[in-house]
Amino acid sequence: MKKVLKEKKGASKVKEGKASGSKREISFSKRKTKRIASFLVFGIMFVSLLFNVIHFSKVQTIRNTVQASYDEIEQQVKGAGRHSLLETPLLIHYSTDFIREYFEIPADEEERNARKDRLKHYFVSGFDVNSLEDMSEFIGSRSVQSIDLMDIRSTDTDEVQVQYLVTYQVIEQLEEEKEVVTTEVDKDGEEKEVTQTVLEEIEKSTDYQVEVIIPVVTDGEGFAVTRHLTLLSSDIKSVIQYEPLALKGEDLTSQQQEALSPFLRDFLTSFGQSDEKLAFMASVDRGLLDKVYEDHSIVESVRQNGVYSIRLHVNYREEQTSLTSRYFYEIHMKEENGRFFVESIH
């Protein structure tokens, strides 16, 4: 019996050993699980934070891009507004008014000062209008005779250059030496001539014609001149070889041209006076006035599809004068029932 009991006790120890090992395994699994859970929680938090940072960066980038695009569009709109304003008739009106104000110089001192005050409103802020001219010794006036727009040019900046041809007149009061001969009686009672030099005030008038460039900028609402004007001399003449396009059609013979001459003579006579016969010979509203037909010469003549096309020189004399001038015309006309009729003349 004792032996059996010992064996039972041994078995009990084995079971206790197995139970103790199981507890260690369970304890180890709990610690491992907690550690993994902690890593997962921190990992999720880190990923979430990272996602938020990336999302915020993307949103901010998008906002910056949108704002930059908006600013660019706004600047383009403003620039387009400024550019379009520089292409409107308002610019011509403004610059023409400025040119007239600039070139008109009154003789009266108070009126000159008033002119300077008006000119201040044409220039950019801070411009010294006193530097425009020196009139300390100028006794007289300057007046505009004519103002002709020549060109409007854009520059690389927001500035536009407006070019004018200005004709003006300067009237100046001058003193001129003049010899005056007088007769005096000397102490002996004899008359003798005496020559004296005196200063005589005269008015001198001079006409000028200049080309000027006005540099103008705009803020989208108005205009301003940026600096002093520029004087220049443009050469807009050029040597050009030019051959006009030939009329389309079959060339007329000299006999055919001669057959047209009586009608052309009658038509050009009526055309020069706009008389009552013109309506029966041409489809034109009116002709010329006070032009007396002298003669004509055909330069080119063709016929195509029943239409005569004629280029010619016409000599017209000014009525009541002996001045004759040559002009060029192109005439298109048809023949119906043996009669000619002009469809157009230019």
According to DSSP, residue 213 is labeled E
Check whether residue 264 and residue 341 sit in a common domain.
yes
Count CA atoms closer than 13 A to 61's CA, side-chain side. Answer: 6
Res 66 pLDDT > 90: no
Q: Kindly give, in sequence order, each residue whose CB lies less than 8 Å from that of residue 115, ignoring residues fewer than 6 positions away.
A: 101, 104, 105, 106
Query: Does 290 share its domain with 225?
Result: no
Which contiguous run of DSSP H or E holds residue 262?
Answer: helix 254-273
In the chain, pLDDT over 90 holds for what percent of residues?
A: 57
Within a domain: 61: no
Element (H, E) at 65: helix 2-85
Q: Is residue 337 part of a domain?
A: yes
Domain region containing 141: 89-232
Last residue of a domain, one of 204, 232, 260: 232
Residue range 266-270: mean pLDDT, rounded: 96
Q: With respect to residue 4, please indicate whether it lies within any of the assigned structural domains.
A: no
Q: For position 85, what pLDDT does the model report? A: 62
309's enclosing H/E stretch is strand 307-318
Mean pLDDT value across the chain? 83
Same domain, 271 and 315: yes
**Is residue 312 included in any domain, yes or no?**
yes
Q: Does residue 6 lie in a domain region?
A: no
What pLDDT does residue 265 have?
96
Instruction: Report d(CA 282, CA 332) in Å as an integer.
Output: 10
* 38 is a domain residue: no
Q: Are residues 225 and 96 in the same domain?
A: yes
Per-residue tokens: 207: 């006409």
Task: Flag whether pLDDT at 74 surpasses 50.
Answer: no
Give pLDDT, residue 76.
45
Q: Could you tell me if 119 and 207 lie in one domain?
A: yes
Residue 306: give its domain's CATH number: 3.10.450.540
In a shared domain, residues 222 and 254: no
Q: Is residue 245 one of the residues assigned to a domain?
A: no
Residue 278: count of CB within 10 angstroms of its CB: 20
Is 32 inside any structural domain? Answer: no
Q: Is the pLDDT of residue 273 over 80?
A: yes
Given a cut of 50, whether residue 209 has pLDDT beyond it is yes
Domain stops at, among 232, 266, 293: 232
The residue-averaged pLDDT of 164-179 equals: 87
Q: Do 110 and 222 have their domain in common?
A: yes
Rounded to whole angstroms, the Cα distance separating 325 from 172 reads 40
Per-residue pLDDT reduced to its tens digit, 300-342: 999 999 999 999 999 999 999 999 999 999 999 999 888 999 9
pLDDT tens digits for range 178-206: 777 777 777 777 777 777 777 778 889 99
> How sure is the predictor about 163, in pLDDT bands with cuts at 50, 70 and 90?
very high
* Structural domain count, the chain: 2
pLDDT at 176: 75
Extract the tokens encoding 143.
């007046």
Residue 41: its pLDDT value, please? 67
Same domain? For 93 and 222 the reply is yes
Average pLDDT over residues 253-278: 95
Q: What pLDDT does residue 182 have?
A: 77
pLDDT of residue 134: 93
Residues 219 and 281 in one domain: no
The CA-CA-CA angle for residues 91, 207, 130, to 5°, reads 55
Same domain, 323 and 204: no
Q: Is residue 67 pLDDT above 80, yes or no?
A: no
pLDDT tens figures, 8-55: 444 444 444 444 444 455 554 666 666 676 766 667 777 777 767 676
- 95 CB neighbour count, 10 Å cutoff: 22
Q: Which helix (H) or strand (E) holds 297?
A: strand 291-304
Same domain? For 220 and 254 the reply is: no
- pLDDT above 80: residue 175: no
What does the DSSP assignment read for 111-140? HHHHHHHHHHTTBPTT--GGGS---TT--E
Asked if pLDDT for residue 116 goes beyond 60, the answer is yes
The pair of three-digit structure tokens given for residue 101, joined into one six-digit string: 């104000």
On whether both 212 and 301 belong to a single domain, the answer is no
